[in-house]
């Protein structure tokens, strides 16, 4: 579904991705773990097209996409749930969802809106309320729901558990698992490595712009360096 080879990216003259190679197979949850500043968000932005790359290739479903603008990548089936949710806070829950379907705005969105209501019951009661008035957990559900409105095949999730209470982290993880069961392919960036490895099929460790480890989630969770640096064991 997604194949990234030797991707390099920079902010101005400062290179932060130094030749990243990874792949995500259809139907997988792949997690990318790494410390603050490793380049995880930059890599997601490179895939969704909001961060340019200097070198390397990004293929989606076999086709090169690295030259395409972000909105065309959404049209192909890539949606991103950004770090910090980035909702349109003054707009209602419903309008945030409708904006997520901007690439399909000429279609009948009612079935997708009904699906979002059913999938995220906690949003239903706040349907006409401004998104900015929701709790952190509700906002995260809305951010995921908004991304799903574009009917993606690949969902990029950036730190979905950030700032949430433990019971809500479990809820978000359960939602991500359910999306996989619905045949969505997921690339999950998480600082909460323990939680991410619990639901992922495979994992990569990104350190200062380089992939330093990869394997099944079980292999990565058992790796002594990961246990020491990321799992606090």
**Smallest distance, Å, CB 40 to ligand ATP?**
3
**Smallest distance, Å, CB 149 to ligand ATP?**
25
Shortest CA distance to 160 belongs to which of 148, 59, 19, 104? 148
Which 8-state DSSP code applies to residue 18?
E
**Smallest distance, Å, CB 87 to ligand ATP?**
18
Which residues contact ligand ATP (rule: CB under 6 A)? 11, 16, 34, 36-42, 83, 191
**Smallest distance, Å, CB 57 to ligand ATP?**
19
**Residue 179 corresponds to which tokens in the numbers above?**
């999306």
Residue 11 or 121 with smaller CB distance to ligand ATP: 11
Q: Cβ(130)–Cβ(149) under 8 Å?
A: no
Distance of CA 158 to CAs 39, 85, 88, 92, 110, Å?
12, 9, 17, 23, 27
**Smallest distance, Å, CB 58 to ligand ATP?**
16
Helix axes 93-100, 136-148, angle to 10 degrees: 30
Indicate the SS3 state at residue 19: strand
Rounded distance between C-alpha atoms, residue 230 and residue 191, angstroms: 8
**Residue 108 corresponds to which tokens in the numbers above?**
């009948």
Rounded distance between C-alpha atoms, residue 162 and residue 12, angstroms: 28
């Amino acid at each position: 579904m997604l194949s990234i080879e030797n991707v390099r990216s920079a902010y101005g003259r400062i290179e932060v991705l130094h030749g990243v190679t990874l792949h995500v197979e259809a139907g997988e949850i792949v997690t990318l773990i790494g410390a603050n500043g490793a380049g995880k968000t930059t890599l997601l932005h490179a895939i969704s097209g909001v961060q340019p790359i200097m070198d390397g290739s990004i293929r989606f479903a076999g086709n090169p996409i690295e030259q395409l603008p972000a909105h065309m990548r959404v049209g192909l089936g890539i949606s991103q749930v950004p770090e910090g949710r980035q909702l349109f806070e003054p707009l209602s829950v419903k309008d945030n969802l409708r904006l997520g379907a901007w690439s399909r705005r000429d279609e009948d969105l009612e079935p997708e809106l009904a699906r979002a209501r059913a999938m995220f019951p906690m949003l239903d009661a706040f349907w006409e309320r401004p998104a900015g008035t929701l709790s952190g957990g509700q906002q995260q559900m809305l951010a995921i729901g908004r991304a799903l409105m574009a009917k993606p095949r690949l969902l990029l999730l950036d730190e979905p558990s950030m700032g949430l209470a433990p019971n809500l982290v479990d809820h978000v993880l359960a939602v991500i698992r359910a999306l996989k069961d619905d045949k969505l392919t997921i690339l999950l960036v998480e600082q909460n490595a323990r939680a991410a490895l619990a639901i992922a099929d495979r994992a990569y460790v990104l350190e200062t712009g380089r992939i330093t480890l990869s394997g099944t989630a079980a292999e990565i969770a058992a790796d002594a360096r990961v246990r020491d640096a990321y799992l606090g064991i």
